[in-house]
């Protein structure tokens, strides 16, 4: 298991928010997941993150979620920083899963308490401390500022993945960014707004299928060329995200369609999640061609 300094060093650049891949019959496509992992690592991505949303945890049983975690860590090994996720459980089940991912070798465990029974800032602080004493923790979402204050000295909390309001993310970054390196909630434009304040990594859908735009953006930022970074955002990311939000199968359905369009893994999701039709796949490929990002 990596120490806090190595974790901080690796939490930079585009992060692969790993989707669970399915066969058309709804069974889990572990080979497809491995292909998505390899595509990102070959491009220079150094973080594989399972998340409640992108990993489609709501479509998995708890047993399957454990199987997915076992398969991912066995395939990644020590080639990248690995971040596990939960399914918004009570403390008891969260601690059980913490021990599983720790023993499997995950570097961080991204913990999200049950949203329908969140508790008070104080009980949440107790929750995070208990988990962090089993395995290193990454915070996620809108953790109350008071809770952050109560746990700021907990040595087992080593990162923060933001995905709520930018003003909230900015406050957390300004107050605890040195202690908890932040992963931006998604996309280059959102990251661009947090970059000047110390956010060095972000969730990046492109890195799972066609990494070139994301890697060009990252290299531009590293050399201080914010004009080129912004050009990539406006010329490539903005129209892709706009199309994704209009897509009949939804934003995530578009993301899965892109992964298939580039020949990495099939687009299928489990019911009731809709899948792109063959005609819609043609629309996705047409957009990529018009943007000049078709291989």
Tens digit of each residue's pLDDT (9 = 90 or more) over 36-61: 999 999 999 999 999 999 999 999 99
Residue 158 covered by a domain:
yes
Whole-model pTM: value is: 0.97
Residue 22 covered by a domain:
yes
Residue 259 covered by a domain:
no
In this predicted model, what pLDDT tens digit does every residue of 207-218 receive, in sequence order?
999 999 999 999
Residue 245 covered by a domain:
no
CB 54 within 8 A of CB 88: no
What percent of the chain has pLDDT above 90? 94
Structural domain of residue 179, as residue ranges? 4-209
In this predicted model, what pLDDT tens digit does every residue of 1-25 receive, in sequence order?
788 899 999 999 999 999 999 999 9
Long-range contacts of 99-104 (CB under 8 A, 24+ apart): 99/134, 99/135, 100/66, 100/69, 101/69, 101/135, 102/1, 102/134, 102/135, 104/69, 104/70, 104/73
Residue 288 covered by a domain:
no
Residue 126 covered by a domain:
yes
**Token pair of 166, please?**
């930018």
The CATH number that applies at residue 176 is 3.20.20.70
Residue 286 covered by a domain:
no
Number of domains in the chain: 1
Residue 273 covered by a domain:
no
């Amino acid at each position: 298991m990596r120490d806090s300094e190595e974790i901080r060093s690796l939490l930079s650049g585009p992060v692969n928010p790993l989707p669970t891949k399915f066969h058309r019959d709804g069974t889990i496509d572990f080979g497809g997941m491995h292909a998505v992992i390899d595509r990102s690592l070959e491009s220079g991505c150094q973080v594989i993150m399972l998340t409640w949303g992108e990993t489609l945890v709501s479509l998995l049983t708890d047993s399957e979620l454990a199987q997915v975690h076992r398969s991912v860590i066995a395939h990644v090994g020590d080639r990248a920083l690995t971040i596990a996720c939960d399914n918004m459980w009570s403390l008891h089940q969260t601690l059980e899963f913490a021990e599983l991912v720790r023993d499997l070798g995950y570097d961080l465990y991204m913990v999200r308490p049950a949203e329908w029974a969140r508790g008070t800032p104080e009980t949440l602080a107790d929750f995070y401390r208990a988990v962090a004493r089993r395995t290193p923790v990454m915070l996620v979402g809108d953790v109350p500022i008071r809770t952050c204050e109560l746990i700021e000295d907990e040595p087992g909390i080593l990162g923060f993945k933001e995905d709520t309001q930018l003003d909230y993310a900015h406050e957390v970054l300004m107050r605890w960014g040195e202690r908890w390196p932040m992963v931006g909630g998604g996309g280059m434009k959102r990251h661009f707004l947090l970059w000047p304040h110390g956010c060095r990594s972000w969730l990046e859908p492109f890195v799972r299928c066609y990494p070139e735009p994301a890697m060009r953006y990252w290299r531009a930022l590293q050399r201080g060329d914010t004009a080129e970074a912004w050009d990539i955002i406006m010329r490539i990311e903005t129209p892709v995200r706009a199309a994704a939000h209009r897509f009949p199968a939804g934003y995530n359905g578009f993301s899965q369609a892109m992964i298939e369009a580039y020949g990495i893994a099939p687009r299928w999701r489990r019911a009731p999640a809709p899948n792109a039709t063959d005609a819609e796949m043609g629309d996705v490929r047409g957009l990529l061609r018009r943007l000049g990002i078709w291989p």
